Amino acid sequence: MIQSDRDANGVYLRVSGDLLTQSLDIVEKAFEGFQTDSGTLTVDLSKVEALDTGGAWLIADVARRAKASGATVHYEGLSPAHSALLETVAENISDDRVAEVEHRSFTDWVASVGERTAQAGKDLLSLLEFLGLTLHRLVRTFLMPWRLRKAALVSQMEETGFKAIPIVALMGFLIGVVLAFQGATQLKQFGAEIFVVELISISVLRELGILLTAIIVAGRSGSAFTASIGSMKVQEEIDAMRTLGLDPIEVLVIPRVVALLIMLPILGFIADLAALIGGGLMSWIDLGVSPGMFVTRLKENTGIWQFAIGMIKAPFFALVIGVVACWQAMQVKGSAQSVGQRTTASVVQSIFLVIALDALFSIFFSVMEV
Amino acid sequence: MDGTTLKQTPKSGAQREAVIRVRNLTNQFGPQVVHQDLNLDVWRGEVLGIVGGSGTGKSVLLRTIVGLNKPAAGSIEVLGVDVLNGPEQERRRIERRWGVAFQDGALFSSLTVLQNVMAPLREHTGLSESLMCALGSLKISLVGLPQLSCGKLPSELSGGMRKRAALARALALDPEIVFLDEPTAGLDPIGAAAYDELIGELQHALGLTVFMVTHDLDSLYAICDRVAVLAEKRVLVEGPIEEMTKVDHPWVQEYFTGPRARAAQEKGQDR
């Protein structure tokens, strides 16, 4: 509580009760509203029961404002402990309050758009540089296979490949089921039920199997790469490696990229297989196409090229996912928040690039007429 | 079982109030017993230094008292509240009356230094934004950081500055007890001495009780009123540091009468 009154000697400010940080909100307004003038200000603290730095700040702030407007300030009834505290606080009070709120004008916004565009260009260059570096190390590893970290490679293959089998197989199976079911409803109208086999096999083998596998792997392993290498970056482990003469690309990036290069085609194959099984099963249940007929039709009308086109794309997708994830990890700066942002960016970018690359392949193969 | 409690020298007056009371504490991680029937009292207004060899559970003791680690057995009272089994509401209230500064600062890496210090204020008080800002920058100034560092991120600070910022955050709510985990580890001797002095000053000005885990003999001699030695899974001995040399235990003897201890003692007497 504060109370002020004025007499011939100037202004008296009587403060009483508890002045503690946790309950300052009650008295904050009263202190702020206290108008200082150039006369003598006497602050009576004899009724103050508890005081901490927060309360002392309010009193010191009043005193500072009073002095600024030319008053002389006296304290009354100040206990020795409170006096020491008040003195310490008054010494450390800063005149200029820190501006927390930033004002953003239209020009700032334009500037930030420009900065971001320039940054996007720089990022692209940096990504290409990283891709080149990784390819160089990849070729060197290929020429000098004893430099490959086998233990890391195997553990990455287990993490990114083996453990992804259930989810990839389930995804493939369900895609097959959905395609068969949706295809059947449409094809029934034309009495062309049997073409459901081509619908499933061509769309899955050529496009969907590997594309959806790549998307799952990008979400599953790409994020894990970025988060784990990014945390190492925060902990200065990458710098430590460099000082020990270890090449982070060779130690961290190559095993992950090679693991993806090996495992993504295998996962894609599993997804293809599961989709054909799912599609076959659904065709049998829904359309009465027997498994025997499904397989015969598959052999006759779907060329090996449909399967090959899907598989050819797998290593490229693997490279994109691995390189984007590791590059994003290397861009992590200092904080946990940065790891989170980079992990999100890693997943979004690698999925986008995989789809864009798939579109390019699509055009390429149709021009090549396969 | 209780360890040899040496003659106490109360800081002020005859009436001592135990702000932390640890009784028969047992901590166990799997088969490894860290503490067994550990007893410890911390008196109001004192600076207590906890020392002990590596792996004697100094940090575990600190973490247990502030509730980050659940002990296997025993009781802990802080400011008269049972922090292990007391009612949830009371334990929450108690948490606002202590501050913890971790070894590497443990500042929130995505917030600026000022925002870090303001975080507890924002959470536990209803103060206006400008007052929180002012109190935050006051705390930053109190721990001896330049106002310029308010807007910096923790990753842009040096190790010593991070420790100071962590102390500022621990002091944000004006706690009665401050826990410090190795406050001077990793600082250069000048920085460490300045930090010791800072803790001493703040302790005096704000009337803090300081619970400090440390390895730094200089700190022990410079600012600690009492020292508690952890060994053999309990508080082996506690008392003013001058009396530690008289304790008949090989580790305590080696620790407090070794060459570094003698140097620190001379330095401590100079002050």
pLDDT tens digits, one per residue of A283-292 = 998 888 888 9
Give the C-alpha distances (Å, rounded to integers) separating B254 from A111, B54, B108, B257.
64, 14, 39, 5
Among the partner-chain residues A20, A94, A335, the one whose CB lies closest to the CB of B174 is: A20
CA A351 to chain centre: 14
Q: Which of A298, A249, A236 is nearest to A272 (CA)?
A: A298
Judged by CB atoms closer than 8 Å, whether chains meet at B154 and A335 is answered as yes
Q: Do A21 and B174 touch (CB under 8 A)?
A: yes
Cβ of B130 and A97 within 8 Å? yes
A141 or A4, higher pLDDT = A141
Taking alpha carbons only, the member of B134, B142, B128 closest to residue B170 is: B142
How many domains, chain B? 1
Hey, are the CB atoms on A92 and B134 less than 8 Å from each other?
no
Domain ranges of chain A: 2-92, 134-367
B56 — pLDDT class (breaks 50, 70, 90) = confident
Determine, yes or no, domain membership for B253: yes
Residue the block writes with tokens 């088969």: B31
Decide if A335 touches B, using CB distance below 8 A.
Answer: yes
Given the DSSP bridges, would you call strands B209-213 and B47-52 parallel, antiparallel or unpaired? Answer: parallel
- Annotate A31-63 with b (16+ C-beta within 10 A) or e (fewer): beebebeebebbbbbeebeebbbbbbbbbbbbb
Note whether ipTM > 0.90 here: no
The model's pLDDT over A185-231, given as tens digits with 9 standing for 90+, comes to: 888 888 888 888 888 999 999 999 999 999 999 999 999 999 999 99
Dihedral in degrees, nearest 10, Cα atoms A337, B119, B137, B204: -120
pLDDT digit string (tens) for A149-178? 889 999 999 999 999 999 999 999 999 999
Residue B4 has pLDDT above 80, yes or no: no
Only one residue has tokens 């959905």, namely A178
Residue B8 clears pLDDT 50, i.e. is over it: no
- Residue of A20, A52, A53 to mutate, interface with B, max B Cβ within 10 Å: A53
Task: Please calculate the CA angle A228-A231-A232 and round it to the nearest 5 degrees.
Answer: 90
Average pLDDT over residues B56-66: 87
A214 or B271, which is more confident? A214
Give the best-scoring range by mean pLDDT among A71-80, A211-220, B66-75, B108-117.
Answer: A211-220
Residue B271 has what pLDDT? 55
Chain A residue closest in CA terms to B135? A54
End-to-end CA distance of chain A: 87
Which residues of chain A lie closer than 8 angstroms to B173, CB-CB? Answer: 21-22
Q: Which two tokens stand for residue B25?
A: 């504490």
pLDDT given at position B6 = 40
Q: Is B173 on the interface with A (CB under 8 A)?
A: yes
pTM: 0.68
* 8-state DSSP, B245: G
Do B140 and B176 touch, CB atoms closer than 8 A?
Answer: no
Of B110, B128, B142, the CB nearest to A336: B110
What pLDDT does residue A317 have?
96
- Assigned fold of A2-92: Transcription Regulator spoIIAA (3.30.750)
Q: Determine whether the interchain pair B142/A53 forms a contact, defined as Cβ–Cβ distance below 8 Å.
A: yes
Within 38-77 of A, beta carbons closer than 8 Å to B belong to: 52-54, 57, 61
- DSSP bridge partners of A99: none
The domain that contains B251 carries what CATH number? Answer: 3.40.50.300
Q: Is B93 on the interface with A (CB under 8 A)?
A: no
Domain extent at residue B228:
43-91+211-271
Contact B123, B108 (CB under 8 A): no
Q: Which residues in chain B have Cβ-Cβ distances shorter than 8 Å to A94?
A: 137-138, 141, 147
Q: Is the pLDDT of residue A298 over 80?
A: yes
Say whether A72 sits in a helix, a strand or coil: strand
- Give the pLDDT mean for B244-269: 78
Kind plus residue range of the DSSP H or E element containing A283: helix A254-287
Interface contact A25-B171, CB threshold 8 A: no
Q: Which two tokens stand for residue B261?
A: 């201890």
Q: Are A228 and A328 spatial neighbours (Cβ–Cβ below 8 Å)? A: no
Q: Which of B229, B225, B268 is nearest to B12 (CA)?
A: B225
Band of the pLDDT at A11, cuts 50, 70, 90? confident
Phi, psi of B40 (to 5 degrees): -155, 140
Euclidean distance between CA atoms B62 and B213, whole angstroms? 8
Q: Which residue has 């996962």 as its token pair?
A: A267
